[in-house]
Chain A
Amino acid sequence: GAGVSQSPSNKVTEKGKDVELRCDPISGHTALYWYRQSLGQGLEFLIYFQGNSAPDKSGLPSDRFSAERTGGSVSTLTIQRTQQEDSAVYLCASSLGASHSGNTIYFGEGSWLTVV
Chain B
Amino acid sequence: AQSVTQLGSHVSVSEGALVLLRCNYSSSVPPYLFWYVQYPNQGLQLLLKYTSAATLVKGINGFEAEFKKSETSFHLTKPSAHMSDAAEYFCAVSGGTGGFKTIFGAGTRLFVKA
Q: Which of A52-111 contact B (CB under 8 A)?
A: 56, 58-59, 91, 93, 98-102, 104-110
Interface size class of B (residues with CB under 8 A): 20 to 34
Partner of B43, one of A101, A104, A110: A110
Q: Which of A14-61 contact B (CB under 8 A)?
A: 33, 35, 40-43, 45, 48, 50, 56, 58-59
Residues in B with CB closer than 8 Å to A101 are: 32, 95
Q: Does B90 reach chain A (CB closer than 8 Å)?
A: yes
Residues in B with CB closer than 8 Å to A35 are: 104
A50-B94 Cα distance, complex, nearest whole Å: 14
Interface string of B92-111 (1 = CB under 8 A from A): 10110011111111110000
Residue count of chain A within 8 Å CB distance of chain B? 26
B100 touches A41 (CB 8 A): no
B90 touches A102 (CB 8 A): no
A102 touches B32 (CB 8 A): yes
24 of the cross-chain contacts (CB-CB < 8 Å) are A33-B101, A42-B107, A43-B44, A43-B90, A43-B104, A45-B102, A45-B103, A56-B99, A56-B101, A93-B44, A98-B100, A99-B94, A99-B100, A99-B102, A100-B94, A100-B99, A100-B102, A101-B95, A104-B34, A104-B46, A105-B34, A106-B46, A107-B43, A107-B45
